[in-house]
Chain A
Amino acid sequence: MAEKAILYDATRCTACRGCQAACKQWNENDEFIPIKENGVQSVNWGSYENPPDLAPTTWLKMEFREIDPGGKVRWLFTRRSCMHCTDAGCIKVCPTGALYHHELGFVAYNKDICSGCGYCIEACPFDVPRSEHNLITGIAKIDKCTFCTTPGLDRLTEGWEPACVKTCPPKALQYGDRGELVAEGKRRVETLIAKGWTNANLYGEKELGGLHVMYVLDDHPAVYGLPVAPRISAATIAWQDVIQPLGWAVGGLTILGLGFNYLVARATTIKEKEKKDAARS
């Protein structure tokens, strides 16, 4: 099946945060006042940006940035949520197989078998997964954007767009075949460059093997707070590609060696016993 993706055009976004609200509403991550346990309270901290961060009940959040290149103030909006990487660090480290690639290409997870180890949180190059975490018992479950495929709340199987895309008034968010959206993104970038935005670029086409959330930006990704060359950390690779095979190899060799020793040593003792018996008789 063709891989699906979301294309976010930052130059069309008006920061209405309809996507944020639709995400919460559809996925039943409502905010409560007074604050629900583990919820993140919206507070007035001098910005339209709210709530302060992604959370177990906040899977999508619009970030606002004010910059003034050459004295001209610009107000930039960045969509923060799971980027649904092809080379996904979270899937690489997930010890229980709770995180996996959906057949449509994005990163889904089975919350039931999440053990709460939190390795995905540490391995994510975009700092996206969040968990409710009991510090003493270690009991935890991770949460993040499911691309609207949460069991019982699965929009894609119904043939619908993700809730954030559906609600977006200026059509800054689009959902569709990834290949088509790459082409669409490139067209938009060309238009922007023609209009004088010489730094315009399509973010996510090649990053980490191709993201399933791509960005049309009119400036360098760093200006939008995006990691310029996101990578899977050395520790992730060391754990997954070195430690795990090494563990099996060393453990296996140890057991084989012990088995070999047992066979030889037993043969030796039997031979000695026979010799003793022979000498006695």
Chain B
Amino acid sequence: MLAASPAAAGQFIFVALALGCLTHAFIADDFSVRYVAENANSNLPVMYKVAAVWGGHEGSMLLWVFVLAGWTLAMAGFSRSLPSVLRARTLGVLGLISVGFLLFILLTSSPFDRLLPAPADGQDLNPLLQDPAMAIHPPMLYVGYVGFAVVFSLAVAALMGGRMDSAWVRWSRPWATVAWLFLTIGILLGSFWAYYELGWGGWWFWDPVENASFMPWLAGTALIHSLAVAEKRGSFKAWVVLLAIMTFSLSLLGAFLVRSGVLTSVHSFASDPARGVFILGFLSVTVVGSLTLYAWRAPAIRNVGTFALLSRETLLMANNVLLMVACASVLIGTLYPLAMEALGLGRISVGPPYFNAVFVPLMLVLAGLIGLGPLTSWRRMTPTNLAHRIRWALLVSLTATGVLIAVYWNGTTLGMAVGMFMACWIITTVAVNIRSRLQLRGGLRGLAAISPSVYAMNLAHLGMAVFIIGAGAVETYGIERTVRLGPGDSATVAGYRFTFQDVRDVQGPNYTGTQGYFTVTQGGGPVADLLPEKRNYPVRRSSMTEPAIDAGLFRDLFVALGEPLDEGAWSVRLQYKPMIRWIWGGALMMALAGLLAVADRRYRVRIKQSPTMHPSEGT
């Protein structure tokens, strides 16, 4: 049992060594390594040479394994206070997962294959990935994805022991939170990158690849809420274990969807199935194995604590129902076209209109619960008490929504009106929550006495409100126009006058391009100068649209060059994006809230090692 810890350290050192070697090969332009030759070029800036390490399939799998080794090491390092059987089992399960992925790399995806004779230069990194946000997006996402492997391993270890005490729950909670916060940051960066790099100003496409990261996020969100109930009230324990299994399984499913090539076309997957079949096999073993263990052991997990119909427990259960149904709708929407195609039933597209119809309503109901839950007591509450607590928040929210609808009558949809109400509702209930806590602690002096986890919860919920405002505003009031502009021409969008001055040629380190010069004015006053570009990357023979954005707290102005037309004119894409920063701002608030939650003192208090604390040992 004591071998687990040094083994974790050894694994980390050797995987780090492999990653270091690959990074060195990139920096040293060693094009005799096939993977380097396919993903870099001697003219590529050094920063992107490093990012190119995970710019392709093989390298990103190595990064995945490196992150897993890092988590395993962290688990080994921080778990000294855990019962040694639980600790050894957890590290053992993590080790098994590592074996699976290391085998995957060795058998199907080695980044160290030689390419001899070595080409004179490499094929360059995909220009779309030559971007700072895209450089750190995969590591963040993987820290999140793989972090759920730790919670999964803890859950499986607890099932093997047949016992989950409150120490287990308290111990697992910060790990789930950290994984969740990194996944949040990873998704945020991906969305931000798509907005300014894809050239079309969209922030979420319901693309299967995005969904692959979003499903574990939804399940992970359900998990961190259920862990709260399990820690505070001793309920939901079996469900927590099941959620931990599902969250990690969804991470693996995401890996399968993205890595197998099944998304490009079911047929391309069928023609070169080695990678896909391996991950699918691994996924099946993990899911079937852990669910079997669950079915066998879960009945032994005893829940304590009763609760009434109107209680925070019930509302958190409803939260979990909504999140998991939402997650299922994303899963079905993602897999359905693949399944239909595989079964020869024809091709269909499942896109934003589907998710807007199915997913968004569930989230709006959930937003209502976000306000209600924290104001409801654990165990039981009378409807009268609850009505008393929420009456001001409800009144203020309804009034504010009415005013907002009146002011923004033009173009406001029913969905946006509901979104406005939900945002107001969350904000006002957070205010009520903090206020009532302060009253208990003697006014404003009590601010410091409130525990960080309470602030964390409220901050995350406010983040949700901010997100709803941003997403609603940009989808409802955003304007996009494609216009023809010659030098000196101008077009007006949302009161902003865009004037096309001229174009000039630009030369980058590994590209050539055309840069447009636009001035933006509002009511005669200057607002911004915008310089969108059209770039050509000769090595990849690809052209890229680099939009120019004047960012603001309340609106972004977005200009992208389309195509050159006759007489020096260009087709130009102009966009007005109200409140779009709030989307990422809200997500950032959620991630910060995660950080605040794990900073809570109670997770740093060492659990005393005493024989009474871990009766599961030696059974």
A and B: interacting chains: no
B interface residue numbers (CB < 8 A to A) = none
A interface residue numbers (CB < 8 A to B) = none
